[in-house]
Chain A
């Protein structure tokens, strides 16, 4: 009998939750409240917050619904990282505290605050609308519900992972560019846009892409991979972003936008010299006027410090560039063949 009792003496630890508080009706600025509770092994951050709300402070406000990691309601920052409270184990978080025994809980970033841990999701929904995050079906109305599209496993694989997204906004909260500009499309919306664009049932690929290449769109992403790293469903978001860019270059050409020109410049330089010609990159990306206006003052400082990149003629080609070029061009032929093949299909 004692053995059985021992078995159920679940370990307990005292844990302090340092929770971000803000009620716009009474507080002029946010503050933190500390709640110390005894937490047993296996308890999640969400259950702890529920406990605090029920037993300690009923005014503490947060969202939660499924409690099973599928509805996306409970996105918040735990110990500084955006994640789902309902799938985060308290004991695991204890290992990540900056101050021992104190778990910090804060709202997601880059979305307007409403109260305590609750932020406004409307900006995200608005962006989903702006970027047509839906399938505009090519099935004629008369055939709807009567016929199936035939979808290959290969196509399904392209968007399978992307449809895991539960719109929890963790990636949105972690995004570097969104922090800098709230107009930015956002990683989750890029992911969804990608998912729609590779779906053969959809008929507005070009329209969606045209919107994506505009300002605040796909070219503004700074490849920091924070979104991907924090995705609660481990979705490779950057692959989606890269795929949209690849598609943009192919469908709209390399001279379409400054982002496209910038990307394409790498290809040109590598083929020519095997090295990047940094000095002319600004001009090739944004033109002469922009470069003069934006970079001249800095260029002056750079010149003084001899930090300016060398002008194109002085960029030394990589050793053995001739043979490299031949190989590079051979690959270009391969790529051309690939395209022909895929078009035939």
Chain B
């Protein structure tokens, strides 16, 4: 059993509950044990960073310190949470004064940020720790005959100085996972593009245009569905899909899955179990 601390992203507790639920179904099958960090707090999205850089450092030092206390790496299933927490980690590791200031406060809770735990995405754990061969061996319902558009999203790739796992211009980890599950990846120009989530409430029209472009390519390339490692991308591409496509005058639709659901399906769990019925497009 490989053990990890599991960071509970706000969105997975509200709008995309099926992500954590799916993981719960299959984690044991793949020899994984995710220990949920109930004390963890919101990472600040991509906003706290500039609203208050010091609070940003504190909050995320704490999130990581909670994992360090258990001696585990921290696993995240949301791109933006991943980027945000890793950004904080980089700043803390590079700025001793900040680390000290933060640790002086964390003492109150008996915590200390040391920088010993890695912060990793669920996708990376699957591909790098579990391994493609193990995954292949566990597949019971291969995603044969499915043409799948891999949508990586931004914050699992960029800034590459913070993420660094995939080549941001030609990422491959998600493609590899899809293929290990028996699916067929299609060439997808938008694979490393943006979904528009972060400006949905500030510049809605622009954001929906951004989303529509990606959806349009997937639809035009006759993909059966889109898969993404990020619940935020999922929310836009699924939840806002009809609005985005309407704005772009496209009369069509395409289902979107989070990787946790795709893994669940290939390991033999049903759409109903995984909560896929709750998607807007399905």
Q: In whole angstroms, what is the CA distance A81 to B278 when docked?
A: 37
**Is A161's CB within 8 Å of the partner chain B?**
no
Residue among B16, B44, B45, B52 with the highest chain A CB neighbour number at 10 A: B52
Task: Give, as a whole number of angstroms, the nearest-CB distance from A179 to chain B.
Answer: 7
A245:B50 contact, CB within 8 angstroms: yes
Q: Which residues of A contact B207 (CB under 8 A)?
A: 180, 222
B154:A224 contact, CB within 8 angstroms: yes
Q: Which residues of B contact A309 (CB under 8 A)?
A: 14-15
With A96-B169, A229-B168, A274-B42 as known contacts, state yes or no: A181 contacts B55, CB within 8 Å.
Answer: no
Partner of B39, one of A81, A285, A320: A320
Task: Give, as a whole number of angstroms, the nearest-CB distance from B200 to chain A.
Answer: 9
Chain B: CB-nearest residue to A177: B206
User: In B35-71, which residues have CB < 8 Å from any A CB?
Assistant: 38-42, 44-55, 58-59, 62
**Is B197's CB within 8 Å of the partner chain A?**
yes
Chain A: CB-nearest residue to B160: A229
A269:B154 contact, CB within 8 angstroms: no
User: In B132-155, which residues have CB < 8 Å from any A CB?
Assistant: 154-155
Partner of A262, one of B41, B201, B280: B201
Chain B: CB-nearest residue to A80: B189
**Is A207's CB within 8 Å of the partner chain B?**
no
With A258-B202, A267-B52, A323-B109 as known contacts, state yes or no: A238 contacts B159, CB within 8 Å.
Answer: yes
Q: In whole angstroms, what is the CA distance A306 to B278 when docked?
A: 7
A181:B206 contact, CB within 8 angstroms: yes
Task: Give, as a whole number of angstroms, the nearest-CB distance from A213 to chain B.
Answer: 11
Interface-side segment among A39-47, A127-135, A136-144, A324-332: A324-332
**Is B115's CB within 8 Å of the partner chain A?**
no
Chain B: CB-nearest residue to A282: B201
Task: Give, as a whole number of angstroms, the nearest-CB distance from B21 to chain A.
Answer: 12
**Is B199's CB within 8 Å of the partner chain A?**
yes
Q: In whole angstroms, what is the CA distance A269 to B51 when docked?
A: 13
**Is A281's CB within 8 Å of the partner chain B?**
yes
Task: Give, as a whole number of angstroms, the nearest-CB distance from B247 to chain A.
Answer: 10
Interface-side segment among A50-58, A113-121, A195-203, A297-305: A297-305
**Is B204's CB within 8 Å of the partner chain A?**
yes
Q: Which residues of A contact B33 (CB under 8 A)?
A: none
**Is B224's CB within 8 Å of the partner chain A?**
no
Q: Which residues of A contact B201 (CB under 8 A)?
A: 258, 262, 281-282, 285-286
**Is B31's CB within 8 Å of the partner chain A?**
no
Residue among A181, A315, A327 with the highest chain B CB neighbour number at 10 A: A327
**Is A63's CB within 8 Å of the partner chain B?**
no
Residues of B in contact (CB 8 Å), total 66
Interface-side segment among B22-30, B100-108, B173-181, B261-269: B100-108
Partner of A266, one of B45, B154, B169, B206: B45
B45:A176 contact, CB within 8 angstroms: no
B210:A275 contact, CB within 8 angstroms: no
Chain B: CB-nearest residue to A259: B202
Partner of B44, one of A176, A229, A245, A270: A270
Q: Which residues of B contact A225 (CB under 8 A)?
A: 154-155, 158-159
Q: In whole angstroms, what is the CA distance A294 to B278 when docked?
A: 22
Interface string of A243-261 (1 = CB under 8 A from B): 1011001000000001100
Q: Which residues of A contact B44 (CB under 8 A)?
A: 266, 270
Q: In whole angstroms, what is the CA distance A274 to B51 when docked?
A: 16
A249:B51 contact, CB within 8 angstroms: yes
B280:A318 contact, CB within 8 angstroms: no
B54:A334 contact, CB within 8 angstroms: yes
A177:B199 contact, CB within 8 angstroms: yes
A266:B14 contact, CB within 8 angstroms: no
A278:B105 contact, CB within 8 angstroms: no
Partner of A318, one of B41, B206, B279: B41
Partner of B58, one of A319, A323, A327: A327
Chain B: CB-nearest residue to A306: B278
Q: In whole angstroms, what is the CA distance A263 to B199 when docked?
A: 11
Q: In whole angstroms, what is the CA distance A32 to B225 when docked?
A: 30
Q: Which residues of B contact A264 (CB under 8 A)?
A: 51
B10:A219 contact, CB within 8 angstroms: no
Partner of A263, one of B47, B53, B187, B194: B47
**Is A171's CB within 8 Å of the partner chain B?**
no
A270:B108 contact, CB within 8 angstroms: no
Partner of B42, one of A221, A259, A269, A294: A269
B51:A263 contact, CB within 8 angstroms: yes
Q: Which residues of A contact B199 (CB under 8 A)?
A: 177, 219-222
User: In A265-296, which residues have CB < 8 Å from any B CB?
Assistant: 266-267, 269-270, 274-276, 278-279, 281-282, 285-286, 294
Chain B: CB-nearest residue to A285: B201
B38:A318 contact, CB within 8 angstroms: yes
Task: Give, as a whole number of angstroms, the nearest-CB distance from A220 to chain B.
Answer: 4
Q: In whole angstroms, what is the CA distance A298 to B106 when docked?
A: 41
B159:A229 contact, CB within 8 angstroms: yes
A226:B154 contact, CB within 8 angstroms: yes
Known: A81-B169, A242-B50, A327-B105; 13 extra A-B contacts, CB below 8 A, are A225-B159, A226-B158, A226-B193, A275-B41, A276-B10, A278-B11, A285-B202, A305-B280, A306-B278, A323-B109, A327-B108, A331-B105, A335-B55
Give the interface of B toward A (CB within 8 A): 10-11, 13-16, 38-42, 44-55, 58-59, 62, 101, 105-106, 108-109, 154-155, 157-160, 168-170, 187, 189, 193-194, 196-199, 201-207, 209-210, 213, 239-240, 242-243, 277-280
Can you offer 14 A-B residue contacts whose CB atoms are under 8 A? A179-B209, A220-B202, A222-B199, A222-B203, A242-B50, A275-B41, A278-B10, A298-B243, A302-B239, A305-B278, A307-B15, A307-B16, A327-B58, A331-B54
